[in-house]
Amino acid sequence: MKKTGVLHPELARIIAGLGHGDMLIIADAGLPIPDGVERIDLAFSPGKPAFVEVLAAILGEMQPQSVVLAEELRQASPGFLQEIKSYFNSSTKIDFVSHEDFKQSSQQAKAIVRSGEFTPYANVILVSGVVF
């Protein structure tokens, strides 16, 4: 039995298999998941698990080189945006794209991790970096 970190077996497998430049998405409860992209569905109730709980757990296991957020998040939930940004250091590149472009990019993700988050546009693309 795994003792620490991400205990969910499929999520741990996905994280362990990420290579440099691979994309992993953490999504709110409403983001459409394209056919052919693996779905790791953690949602079990509105708001549970919270997006930031999932983000914190995944960031404990992987090193993102950059992140992508929806431009609409700036207007819809500026406080939530600041909370998300607080999980990244100043060297992590943060890009903003339209929500439509975000959804298009999701087709290239290794997996989409669905949280129970109900905050609009609470989605992030984590682009895997390297630890050396």
One digit per residue, pLDDT tens: the chain, 132 residues?
888 999 999 999 999 999 999 999 999 999 999 999 999 999 999 999 999 999 999 999 999 999 999 999 999 999 999 999 999 998 899 999 999 999 999 999 999 999 999 999 999 999 999 988
pLDDT of 131: 86
Residue 23 near residue 104 (C-beta atoms within 8 A): no
Domain 20-128 has CATH 3.40.1650.10: yes
pTM of the predicted structure, to 2 decimals = 0.96
CA distance 81 to 85: 6
pLDDT of 118: 97
Residue 48 near residue 72 (C-beta atoms within 8 A): no
pLDDT of 120: 96
Phi, psi of 24 (to 5 degrees): -125, 130
User: For the chain, which residues make up each domain, given as ranges?
Assistant: 20-128
| Residues noted as catalytic | 20
